[in-house]
Amino acid sequence: MSGLELAFCWCFADADPIHGLQTLASLGYDGFELWPDALTAHPARDWKLAMHESAMRCVQLCPYFDFVHGFERIERSEASLRLFLQYAQELECQRLRVFTGPPWGEGVVGASEATETQWEDCVTHLGRFCDVAAEQGVELCIECHPGGLAENAAYTLRLLDRIQRPNLTVNLQIPFKDEPWQTSLQMLGDYTTHIHIHNWSGEPDLSPLTFLDEGTFDWFPVVNQLVNNLGRDLCLSVEHATHNGRHDPWETARRDARFLANLRRRVLSLGKATFESSGT
């Protein structure tokens, strides 16, 4: 049987790391994610102490890389890689999130509009980053996201096939636009280690984000397929907990923790029953 870990993306500007992680742990989360702002607000040693006090694990660190805007941006990305690998070592974290370029705002380059030079730069330098990270036992996890070279399953698979690094994995942020989730899993499930999990009050990307237990997207078949059918060890991590300013993130943490605990029980119970019935 494979494992299923639950995490929360830190977004509590006014909370200190110890109290915040202890609270998340008490709700049932196993780990947390950090973005650059959180590591600017509190140095790594504070997070390390908070991890010790809460028994929480840092499941992913989230730098921003840019492989599609030339040498200067790639150099900046290399400096960011070195810094975040240092953070990863201090926090015993084995996963860094990867964007291929700015995911929103000025300078966004989608897969369909990228030039062959931009593709080649990404393949060359992301592959090199993978090799550097591998020396420290760290995986680089491509976030499937609109406005990048990994904006759907086919383009993400194109990157994976061209880079060919065992420590290059996928943060499968489904559903993709105009792509059934079954297709996404068929193409990318074997590479998936992480999901930024969301839900919507209506159609994805056309409706407001909301609590996991209130949304219309059914996560059970997705997670069941990944864990029980494909044998993936998977982390589900709650992101955008304010739902674009509509909700208190601590309320999201509480409600989503209950939903995720139930989801994990259902998935792992089904996997256990299948395992036992097979006689192995």
| Mean pLDDT, rounded, for 135-164 | 97
**Backbone angle region of 231, left / alpha / beta, with phi > 0 → left and psi within -120 to 50 → alpha:** left
At 69 the pLDDT is 97
Residue type, position 125, single letter: H
| Mean pLDDT, rounded, for 211-227 | 97
Length of the chain: 280
pLDDT surpassing 80 at residue 45: yes
Least confident of 48-52, 104-108, 233-237, 269-273: 269-273
**Backbone angle region of 105, left / alpha / beta, with phi > 0 → left and psi within -120 to 50 → alpha:** left
| Mean pLDDT, rounded, for 56-80 | 98
The average confidence (pLDDT) of the chain is 95
The phi and psi torsions of 231 (rounded to 5 degrees) equal 70, 30
Tell the CATH topology of 62-195.
TIM Barrel (3.20.20)
176, 153 contact by CB (below 8 A)? yes
pLDDT digits (tens, 9 = 90+) for 6-32: 999 999 988 999 999 999 999 999 999
Contacts of 113 (CB under 8 A, 6+ apart): none
pLDDT digits (tens, 9 = 90+) for 173-206: 999 988 999 999 999 999 999 999 999 998 887 7
pLDDT surpassing 80 at residue 2: no
Percent of the chain with pLDDT over 90: 90
At 280 the pLDDT is 55
Of 180, 69, 171, 89, give the one whose Cα is nearest residue 135: 89
| Mean pLDDT, rounded, for 101-111 | 92
Cβ burial, residue 228 (10 Å; 0-12/13-18/19+): buried
pLDDT digits (tens, 9 = 90+) for 50-60: 999 999 999 99
Distance CA 200, CA 198 (A): 7
| Mean pLDDT, rounded, for 207-230 | 96
| Mean pLDDT, rounded, for 44-54 | 98
pLDDT surpassing 90 at residue 127: yes
